[in-house]
A and B are shown apart, each in its own frame.
Chain A
């Protein structure tokens, strides 16, 4: 070691070397929450193919994808926001607002559909930026901020159009929203193309970029992230902007798919998105989750409801099943954490009381 700025650490001390991983690849890949969801998805899919009448037809998957496309799209930014331990409840309201904007701009301002869609997405990004600014730079809790803007954006959407609906859209565009990629009779609608593009971008951003490493660090420990040079505020801000823009895009799709722009479009969608993201293995406390699990979570919920509908079950029963599944999945993580926590506590023994213990023990108690 001759200078302090040697590019590799070749010290006088013998350098140790380490294996990269403690467990073989199959164990790291299979023994995860994400893989459990994927496996469950496979089981449910195969079961439905064999036992549910008409499930194996091409229409089933086609309508499944059409239905879950908005959830799939919004789940990507939602997962990233939730990994930073924040939340965005305003997404469905942005869908509604974007839907209304497309309708109004097309009908009243005479804009073409692509221009109206771009304008709606710009407004969506601004809505997200407002959320992000309040959360990151004003320091308000995202739960409170986005509950507020959920009502606000929905209010603006309904206010713009009242109880009316705009249904006069060119067929070229409404057909495009429902078109199939591989020609008539196949199962994959065109909305999957932008979704796959966004998915690739999201995977890169979250799992293969410096920005994504920062997202996880913020979720685990924002203070340490700050000390390491991660711009905590800016990271969160951009995630909310992305969330707003993607939600607005989902709103454009929603409008064209149903051929109807209404202020109350996609009401309650935010809870479906959050449910799917949580089912996919993202921790609401931040720091944990991966996109393959999230996508599997969305598709799993979609397949269960689609199969049960084909069986002739009511929406209420479908909701009960999905609700139970969600509670079980969350419970499984908590139980695992509890078990490993107990194990750790036993091996570590009694820990020295910290200052907090004094503060808690000292004053004012009876």
Chain B
């Protein structure tokens, strides 16, 4: 035990790898966290940050690589094991028991016991008060957790971590939902924990925060370790270029298409707390990419345009005609198609057959004298499944038996069968194999060539840059940049996507914005 306490390095990961089936989530992750320091981990969506954290937290087990904690080789099979060793992870959205008191949440499962093994509430409240005093916050330990702000809930998670005497504290995007004052308070707490000699890992997309708080920065890309620097030795530009760091591959063969008339006009679309004053247009033959970080509000905008979700203000026009709000059927009639983000839950009915899924939107027109038969559905669905080269042995196979790539083809076939004027496609290639990916890209390019307007949302920057004629960058529910194909560089998009948020000084924000749009 003496040995452990003396170790200067809290956490050491070297060449850690993790795959899920054929998907490599983490190729070679490395991270060394010292005592008394705050270490930032940055990278694009899908760079492997979350997988790394989950391995440390004991959610996943690594396939290979070195994992040392306090100088000892460890291998956590459960989150309880990692917690017992002294690792605390605070997630973006804390999950407390809403109906229990704050103190009960902190001491869940290890409540101090009094006489007769009864829970000693007095001691529990006293200790909670002492923890909060140490953190410099005022939360009543007797009140229920329900109704606390996200910031206060995070403080409770931190208090829990301290009461467990965690040596390593990992915070996964803790500031995403916080306001300026709350961020400052969190930072103050983080610094005092650092000064107590604990190690902290801070994952964030906001560079201003990373540079304000952290001592070291580790960059990850495509599941691999790229670099580690002292914050004082580097700057935002260097970090961004390392995060992006690769050429846009030849994988994305967007052929230039003749851009025609405006198909979709979105004007001042607003949904309180989700996105604000979103305006853009998409023309025939054009692929417009919506880029931004996960959670920036891209999918929400698409869902509102298609009418799956409500919006508070603004208007959507297709071919000059207003599309009624919150009515997917009207949107379909107007000529919209929407391939949603979550294939298995939203894109198709996984328990139904290929034919039923492909025919699910067009079946309205397939009935003869009001009678809709399976034969008619099969006749209509077959050619579309064939055009997309869906791999299935028969049309009555359930969609659940197919691979992700084939399921995605079924979803696309279902919407192409409606012969839409506008195709909204959210994460067109998420979780599908590389071959199908290329097929989907070729198809999108071909469709645009035929005059379809396409609005594409993707978290993969190369995909957006390779496919889109125009890139709109969304950050915290607003469009922060509009870049032409030629102007859209990875650096510019990342800058706009991680634009300093509301609490940063207005001057800095303006400076960045002008830089991006220049």
Interface residues of A (CB under 8 A from B): 1-13, 15-22, 28, 204, 208-210, 212-213, 216-217, 220-221, 223-229, 231, 287, 349-353, 357-359, 361-366
Contacts and interface: CB of A to CB of B under 8 A. Distances in A.
B328 interface: yes
Nearest to A2: B450
Given A5-B419, A210-B363, A221 B349 contact: yes
A15 B387 contact: yes
Contacts of B417: 9
Interface in B65-93: 78-80, 89, 91
A364 B338 CA distance: 39
Given A4-B419, A223-B346, A227-B328, 15 more contacts: A16-B385, A209-B370, A210-B367, A216-B349, A224-B345, A226-B328, A228-B360, A229-B332, A229-B361, A351-B21, A352-B25, A358-B91, A362-B57, A362-B95, A363-B157
Interface of B: 20-21, 23, 25, 54, 57-60, 78-80, 89, 91, 94-97, 105, 108-110, 157, 308, 328-329, 331-332, 338, 340, 345-352, 354-356, 360-361, 363-364, 367, 370-375, 378, 382-387, 389-390, 392-397, 414, 416-417, 419, 421, 446-447, 450-452
Contacts of B384: 9
Sorted nearest first, the 7 A-B pairs with minimum C-beta distance are A366-B109, A352-B20, A22-B394, A15-B386, A4-B450, A9-B387, A16-B386
A9 B386 contact: yes
Given A220-B349, A221-B351, A228-B360, A213 B372 contact: yes
Contacts of A1: 446, 450
A139 to B, nearest CB: 14
Given A20-B355, A225-B349, A365-B109, A204 B371 contact: yes
Contacts of B390: 16
18 contacts: A1-B450, A13-B387, A22-B393, A22-B397, A204-B371, A208-B371, A209-B372, A216-B349, A220-B349, A223-B346, A227-B346, A229-B331, A349-B21, A353-B20, A358-B59, A363-B91, A364-B109, A366-B110
A208 B367 CA distance: 8
A189 B66 CA distance: 80
A31 B254 CA distance: 49
A154 to B, nearest CB: 35
B350 to A, nearest CB: 7
A319 B60 CA distance: 51
Contact of B59 (A10, A16, A361): A361
A141 B309 CA distance: 21
A180 to B, nearest CB: 32
A353 B54 CA distance: 10
Contacts of A6: 419
A7 B338 CA distance: 19
A208 B360 contact: no
A255 B181 CA distance: 71
A125 to B, nearest CB: 22
Contacts of A20: 355, 374-375, 378, 382, 394-396
A17 to B, nearest CB: 6
A285 to B, nearest CB: 10
B189 to A, nearest CB: 19
B364 A220 contact: no
A357 B265 CA distance: 40
Contact of A3 (B23, B108, B387, B450): B450
A124 B404 CA distance: 47
Contacts of A10: 387
A21 B394 contact: yes
B394 A19 contact: yes
B54 A358 contact: yes
B80 A365 contact: yes
Contacts of B414: 228
Nearest to A209: B372
B395 A353 contact: no
Contact of B352 (A5, A19, A216): A216
Nearest to B380: A8
Contacts of B397: 22
A217 to B, nearest CB: 5
B144 to A, nearest CB: 14
Contact of B89 (A19, A216, A362): A362
B364 to A, nearest CB: 5
Nearest to A21: B396
A3 B451 contact: yes
Contact of B364 (A19, A28, A210, A223): A210
Given A4-B452, A217-B360, A221-B350, A363 B95 contact: yes
Given A16-B386, A208-B371, A220 B351 contact: yes
A12 B95 CA distance: 52
A210 B372 contact: yes
B98 to A, nearest CB: 11
Contacts of B374: 20
A358 B393 CA distance: 36
Given A4-B450, A210-B363, A229 B329 contact: yes
A60 to B, nearest CB: 36
Contacts of B60: 353
